[in-house]
Amino acid sequence: MNWRNHIGTALEGHHPGLGRGVELALLAVVALSALLMGAETLPDLPSWARRAILFADIIIIMIFVAEYVLRIMTAHDKRAYIFSFYGIIDLLSIAPFLLGLVLPWFGVDLRALRTLRLFRLFRLLKIARYSKAAERLTAAWRSVREEVMIFAVVATVLLYACALVVYQFEHEAQPEVFRSVFDALWWAAITLTTVGYGDVYPITLLGRLFTVLILLVALGIVAVPTGLIASALTALRQEEREAAKRDD
């Protein structure tokens, strides 16, 4: 086994000597990064603590950069990795660092680019790589994605239809609230998803009766995709148990 295979298997958690050690260490780094992102928002944080968080964040970024470079170097198909889901996540998670190196050369003031900090949220998605549960969820999604996509199309059509109907019922009674179908679309979205903020609601009799009907339909809209994915997860878990019994 050459050095590339050693590094590649270590990163993937299959190294004969290290096992999942490197994988778990990277998972701990991601978790620490998430905690630091929250800690730096504390209003009364002393200056020494902010400096410590900044230093730790720089170390974490360097680890992520090294991981990304090593994964490219050890990938059998470098192009496939770079454009894969996890390859893109790995790149986006270090994007603020890379842009911070490049943009000053073009005279861009990084203080004006506070939105770059949002890219750090992509670090959290790296957790999925090291989670067996995430692997099962991905496999479950793949097995039912056609059904879920069909249901999503139906739900979208229903959403727009509900907006059209409630607009007809409420526009004359509340012209300042239901100014257009798109305002009604906001009501339909929060109603069908059972969120119900309460900032927009019908006051006419027909509008209220229609809302009751939509709330009943909304229960199914939330339950159907959840049930499909839950059933797929259960089936995958059962297959894993049966495979484990056969191996024994």
Specify the CATH number for the domain of residue 188.
1.10.287.70
Identify the residue with better confidence: 122 or 161.
161
Average pLDDT for the chain: 80
Q: Which of 50, 65, 145 is nearest to 100 (CA)?
A: 65
Cα separation of 126 and 62, whole Å? 15
- Tell me the mean pLDDT in the region 93-105: 76
Domain endpoint, select from 97, 130, 163: 130
Question: Does one domain contain both 88 and 19?
Answer: yes
8 Å CB contact between 22 and 11: yes
Which pLDDT score is estimated for 48?
92
pLDDT digits (tens, 9 = 90+) for 123-138: 777 777 766 667 777 7
Cα separation of 71 and 91, whole Å? 11
- Tell me the mean pLDDT in the region 16-25: 74
Whether the pLDDT of residue 5 is over 60: the answer is: yes
Question: Does one domain contain both 111 and 163?
Answer: no
Identify the residue with better confidence: 24 or 88.
88
pTM of the model: 0.61
Question: Does one domain contain both 205 and 238?
Answer: yes
8 Å CB contact between 27 and 130: yes
Which pLDDT score is estimated for 56?
92
Which pLDDT score is estimated for 34?
84
Our CA angle for 15, 20, 22, nearest 5°, is 85
Identify the residue with better confidence: 83 or 11.
83
- The count of domains in the chain is 2
Q: Of all helices (H) and strands (E), which one includes residue 135?
A: helix 132-170
C-alpha separations of 171 from 160, 191, 192, 201, 210 in Å? 16, 17, 20, 12, 14
pLDDT digits (tens, 9 = 90+) for 163-222: 899 888 988 888 888 888 888 888 888 877 766 666 777 888 988 898 888 888 877 777
Domain residue limits at 146: 136-247
Question: Does one domain contain both 121 and 233?
Answer: no
Which pLDDT score is estimated for 52?
93
Which pLDDT score is estimated for 234?
85
Domain endpoint, select from 61, 95, 130: 130
Question: Does one domain contain both 236 and 201?
Answer: yes
8 Å CB contact between 7 and 70: yes
Q: Could you say which DSSP state residue 133 is in?
A: H
Question: Does one domain contain both 124 and 164?
Answer: no
Cα separation of 112 and 123, whole Å? 22
C-alpha separations of 146 from 142, 153, 228, 232 in Å? 8, 11, 11, 13
Question: Does one domain contain both 117 and 222?
Answer: no
Domain of 49, CATH number, reads 1.20.120
Domain endpoint, select from 103, 130, 157: 130
Whether the pLDDT of residue 110 is over 70: the answer is: no
Structure-token pair, residue 229:
């994915």
